Amino acid sequence: MRLHVLRPFGVPRVTHDATDVRRLFGDIDIYLFDQLQRGRIAADQRIFDAGCGSGRNLVFFLREGYDVRGIDPNPQAVAATRRLAADLAPHRSLQRATAAFQVAALEDHQQPDASADVVIVSAVLHFAGGHGHFDAMLDGAWRPLAPGGLFFARLASSIGIERDVQPLGDGRYRLPDGSDRYLVDEARLTAATARLRGQWLDPLKTTVVQGQRAMTTWVLRKA
């Protein structure tokens, strides 16, 4: 089996064995991969991963030499991302990787305003402690995005499982899988988009996993 990968900026497609996919892209979120395949993330763009974890979404970008930065509140996860960056990007020393990936909370970090062309905030916002915390986290992700930039978020929602979640107060719910999460719905995301003055790039897309949880993809352009 062969895989044809469409590269940014219309560079000719490269054909790879399917066994190479994991090496090329790591465990990238399939919906983020979709943005890449559609040409929305160009090779010269600056990427900020607002909650990078161990770098699961960054393998391709690091290997291809993108300008990538990120934060995460977990020191062990950030250490793993720094090692990944130093291993995959020949031009990036561990010292430079340490500067690029910092231990910080999303609502309280030092990334400069308008310093990124793409912001990734994947599986992060649903850890908010309530409505106010969610807004602060969202603002922390939005602030570094430059005008015209791409905002990509994946987060837990109540869409499609409204009857199956137990309200705990202040926007938090107990899911059927036993976890507690801050959940958004379409109205909440529509209101947040208006507050941020964001422009919709895609309609909301929600995946319901056997009635246990729902994950929504939220993609905007900064006006």
The C-alpha atoms of residue 42 and residue 39 are separated, in whole angstroms, by 7
The DSSP string of the chain is -EEEEPPGGGPPPEEEEGGGHHHHHTT--HHHHHHHHTT-S-TT-EEEEET-TTTTTTHHHHHTT-EEEEEES-HHHHHHHHHHHHHH-TT--HHHHHHHEEE-BTTB--PPTT-EEEEEEES-GGG-SSHHHHHHHHHHHHTTEEEEEEEEEEEEB-TT-GGG-EEEETTEEE-TTS-EEE-B-HHHHHHHHHHHTEEESS--EEEEETTTEEEEEEEEEE-
16 within domain boundaries: no
Q: Is residue 7 part of a domain?
A: no
Q: Report the pLDDT value the prediction gives residue 112, as an integer from 0 to 100.
A: 96
**Which tokens belong to 70?**
């990120």
Total domains present in the chain: 1
33 within some domain: no
**pLDDT in the model for residue 98:** 80
Structure tokens at 5: 């990968």
* Residue range(s) defining the domain that contains residue 171: 43-222
Tens place of pLDDT per residue across the chain (223 aa): 344 445 554 444 555 565 678 888 989 999 999 999 999 999 999 999 999 999 999 999 999 989 999 999 999 999 999 999 988 876 666 667 788 999 999 999 999 999 999 999 999 999 999 999 999 999 999 999 999 999 999 999 999 999 999 999 999 999 999 999 999 999 999 999 999 999 999 999 999 999 999 999 999 999 9
Residue 118 covered by a domain: yes
How big is the chain by its Cα radius of gyration, in Å?
A: 17
Q: What is the pLDDT of residue 116?
A: 98
In a domain, 9, yes or no: no
Residue 48 pairs in a beta bridge with 69, 119
Q: Got the DSSP string for 24-56? A: HHTT--HHHHHHHHTT-S-TT-EEEEET-TTTT
Does any domain span residue 1? no
Domain CATH code at residue 205: 3.40.50.150
The token pair that represents 159 in the structure block: 């869409």
CA distance 132 to 55: 27
- For residue 159, being part of any structural domain is answered with yes
pLDDT at site 13: 54
Q: Is residue 50 part of a domain?
A: yes
